[in-house]
Chain A
C-alpha cells in the first residue's frame, strides 16, 4: 500500500523568500514521486517527477525536489518565491514501473505569497 502525507495545509511566505513544501511517502515498492500544482478551478500541472534516476530533480518554474529514501521524503523547494507561485501543490506517489500507474495524492498544501 502507498500513501502520501503533506505537512502543512497552508504555507505563507514573502515574495523573494525560500519556498519549502514538505512531503513524506510510504511505499512497499520503489516509488515514483511527483509534484503537481493546481491553480483555482483548473486541472493539475506537472512540476517535476522522480523515477529512480537522479535524487535531485529539477522542474519547471525554478522548483526542485530531493528524494531521500532514508527519510521517505520528497520535499519541494524554490529559492525565491514569486507572486505567481501562489497556488495549491500536491505531492503524489505511484507504484512505479510495471504497475497500473495510478497516483495516490496527498491532501495538498496551499501556498500564499505576500508582497
Chain B
C-alpha cells in the first residue's frame, strides 16, 4: 500500500492558462474524491468517482473545472482559463465503499495563479 499520490506537488501558472493535476489512489480503492482547500478553510468537496463513473459533479466550481477517471484507476482534474481565485490546494482522496467511508488523502497539489 503506497498511499494516494498526486502530481505535481506545486504548480505556478499564469492567468488564462490551463492546468491539469493527476491523482493515483490506493490501488484497491473504488472511490476517488477531489477537494479544494483555500487558506484558513477546511477542504471543500468538488466531485467524486466510483470506479470510472463520475457520480457527483454539481459541486465543481464552474464549467472551467472538469475531472476524469478513464479506466477507474488514476484521475485528472483540469482547470481551464485559470483565474487568480483558483489559487488553492487541490486534494485527492480515495476510499472503499464498504470501509465506513474513511478517506485517505494525498499530499495535495498547490496551485498558484499569477
> Is B108 part of the contact surface with A, judged by Cβ < 8 Å?
yes
Q: Judging by beta carbons under 8 Å apart, are B102 and A46 in contact? A: yes
A window 68-115: CB within 8 A of B: 90, 92, 94, 96-97, 99-108
Contacts A41-B110, A43-B105 given; does A105 touch B55 at CB 8 Å: no
B residues in contact with A97, CB < 8 Å = 101
For chain B, the count of residues having a C-beta within 8 Å of the partner chain is 28
Cα A33 to Cα B33 with chains together (Å): 17
> Is B40 part of the contact surface with A, judged by Cβ < 8 Å?
yes
A residues in contact with B107, CB < 8 Å = 42-43
Identify which of B14-22, B41-49, B79-87 touches chain A. B41-49
Q: Judging by beta carbons under 8 Å apart, are A105 and B43 in contact? A: yes
CB distance from B97 to the nearest CB of A (A): 7
Q: Judging by beta carbons under 8 Å apart, are B97 and A103 in contact? A: no
> Is B75 part of the contact surface with A, judged by Cβ < 8 Å?
no
Q: Judging by beta carbons under 8 Å apart, are B31 and A105 in contact? A: no
What is the count of residue pairs linking A and B with beta-carbon distances less than 8 angstroms?
Answer: 66
For chain A, the count of residues having a C-beta within 8 Å of the partner chain is 28
Q: Judging by beta carbons under 8 Å apart, are B105 and A45 in contact? A: yes
A residues in contact with B103, CB < 8 Å = 46, 101, 103
> Is A44 part of the contact surface with B, judged by Cβ < 8 Å?
yes
Q: Judging by beta carbons under 8 Å apart, are B104 and A32 in contact? A: no
Q: Judging by beta carbons under 8 Å apart, are B42 and A49 in contact? A: no
> Is B91 part of the contact surface with A, judged by Cβ < 8 Å?
yes
CB distance from A106 to the nearest CB of B (A): 5
Cα A107 to Cα B37 with chains together (Å): 10
Instruction: List 7 A-B residue pairs with CB atoms under 8 Å apart, sorted by A's residue number.
Output: A41-B110, A43-B91, A46-B104, A101-B48, A102-B56, A103-B35, A104-B45
Q: Report B's interface with A, CB cutoff 8 A.
A: 4, 6, 31, 33, 35, 40-45, 48, 55-56, 91, 93, 95, 97, 100-108, 110
What would 12 more interface pairs be, CB under 8 Å, given A41-B108, A43-B91, A46-B103?
A9-B40, A32-B101, A41-B110, A43-B107, A45-B105, A49-B100, A96-B101, A100-B56, A101-B31, A105-B42, A105-B44, A108-B41
